[in-house]
Amino acid sequence: MNSLDGEHVDGRSEKVAFIWSVADLLRGDYKASDYGKVILPFTVLRRLDCLLEPNKKAVLAQVACSATV
């Protein structure tokens, strides 16, 4: 059951907490000024990966065919 008080909406708070915990771990390894330079590219790559997922098998098959020519 979803509550409207922001505690648990479809497990969202757990996901948010997990993401922030990972961010806190990474911040320990990077200077604050460098953090965005590391996280932003990975965020963009992940977004592209999600967008291209429906075509991934077809593209890999085409690459395999091209490699054998």
Residues across the chain? 69
Which tokens hold the place of 45? 């790559």
2 domain-assigned: no
23 domain-assigned: yes
19 domain-assigned: yes
Residue with tokens 């993401």: 19
54 domain-assigned: yes
Q: Which domain holds residue 53?
A: 12-68
Which tokens hold the place of 56? 């991934």
20 domain-assigned: yes
Positions in the chain whose pLDDT score sits under 70: 1-10
For 25-28, the CB contacts below 8 A with 24+ separation are none
For residue 7, what pLDDT is reported?
Answer: 52
Predicted TM-score of the model (pTM): 0.48
For residue 38, what pLDDT is reported?
Answer: 81
6 domain-assigned: no
For residue 26, the tally of other CB atoms under 10 A from its CB is 13
Instruction: Tell me how many domains the chain contains.
Output: 1
